[in-house]
Amino acid sequence: FRRSLTLWSPPLRGKTALIIVDLQNDFVTGSLKVAEGEQAIRNTNALRKAFKFDLVAHTRDWHPKDHCSFWDNHEGAEMYSIKELTLPDGTVTDQVMWPRHCVQHSHGSQFHPNLDIEQSDVVVSKGLRTEVDSYSGFFDNCKGSETMMRRIMFESGVTQVYVVGLALDFCVGWTSQDAASCGFDSFLVADCARAVHPEPDHKKLVADFAAKGVTVIDSSQVPVQRNFNGETAMKLARKLSQWRVELLATSRSQAQTPDGGPAKAHEEYKRKDSSD
């Protein structure tokens, strides 16, 4: 707890992280193309130029060929239909039957070439488990496994998380909500995201996310200023202490891999992809 408190003690400055969600070829121009995905990339690149984040993390879908979300892995299923699946924890969920997308080492799984990536960026993979989908950059859909995202944020001393990318009504939304549930100050930057389905009424969107601890903002509002007082510092320190216990109890072998690697590691994957 003392170590955690030291991280947050005055002068208190919350570190910022930008989570760029799934700006991969298949979501921008490929099998699961999201309308105006290229505009989301342009706006995201502009945001990075306008404000220097302490940490930038890219999530990517990194699916095995037999992933449960692919419609053609289910006999008789129709694309975009809803199918009941039993998750590893025994619960039953409605799973969208998506087109095959972001298969490991495929062209579609590569980040879009127009996306700015720097050497200091990290890459967090999700959706590696065959039997469960993973919309969030933090957990799979039944929270049975966790990516390295929370550990990376914790070890970097991040307090504010800004989430952008594709798609707002799935992976961006789930990632921003999980960021809030993990205790981060979570902001969804709406003009740097696009939705699979027609975007809902903005007021309703703001209200729905606010109910889950996420603030919807425009890129012009970044960074959001927060006044940290002693009470806030103590709460954050306690949360960090709790995370530390949880994370130390979870071995790295239980986390999904490959993830948490630098952008250079991603470039190696790109070279592999290009040769496939």
Q: What is the DSSP string of the chain?
A: -HHHHHHHSSSP--EEEEEEE--BHHHHTSTTPPTTHHHHHHHHHHHHHHS--SEEEEEEE-B-TT-TTBGGGSTT--TT-EEEEE-TTS-EEEEE-BPS--BTTSGGGSBPTTS---TT-EEEEE---TTS---SSSB-TTSSSB-SHHHHHHHHTEEEEEEEEE-IIIIIHHHHHHHHHTT-EEEEEEEEEE-SSPP--HHHHHHHHHTTTEEEE-GGGPSPP----HHHHHHHHHHHHHHHHHHHHS-GGGS-SS-SEEHHHHHHHHHHHHH-
One-letter identity of residue 121: D
* pLDDT one-digit tens code per residue, 82-114: 999 998 888 899 999 999 999 999 999 999 999
- pLDDT value for 197: 86
Answer whether residue 251 shows pLDDT above 90. Answer: no
Q: How far apart are CA 191 and CA 162, in angstroms?
A: 12
Distance CA 99, CA 38 (A): 20
Please report the pLDDT score of residue 204 as a whole number: 82
List active site positions.
22, 126, 171
> 46 φ, ψ to 5°?
-65, -40
Structural contact between residues 170 and 135, judged by C-beta atoms closer than 8 angstroms: yes
Residues 17-66 have pLDDT tens digits of 999 999 999 999 999 999 999 999 999 999 999 999 999 999 999 999 99
pLDDT in tens, 215-234: 999 999 999 986 655 565 66
Choose among 24, 79, 10, 43: nearest CA to 162. 43
CA distances 104 to 11, 24, 61, 269, Å, are: 44, 12, 8, 9
The answer to whether residue 74 scores a pLDDT higher than 90 is yes
Read off the pLDDT of residues 172-219 as tens digits, 9 standing for 90 and up: 999 999 999 999 999 999 999 999 987 667 678 888 999 999 999 999
Confidence class of residue 130 from pLDDT cuts 50, 70 and 90?
very high
Identify the band that residue 247 occupies on the pLDDT scale cut at 50, 70 and 90.
Answer: low
Note whether 120 and 263 are within 8 A (CB): yes
The pLDDT tens digits for 114-129 are 999 999 999 999 999 9
Q: Over 80: is that where the pLDDT of 14 sits? A: no
Categorize the per-residue pLDDT at 236 as very low, low, confident or very high, splitting at 50, 70 and 90. Answer: low
**pTM of the model as a whole:** 0.84
Question: In angstroms, what CA-CA distances link 63 with 21, 48, 125, 200?
Answer: 15, 28, 9, 29
Cα torsion 194, 200, 203, 209 to 10°: value is -60
Tokens 């990376």 — which residue? 152
Predicted local confidence at residue 8, as pLDDT? 43
For residue 272, pLDDT over 70 is answered with no
Amino acid letter for position 171: C
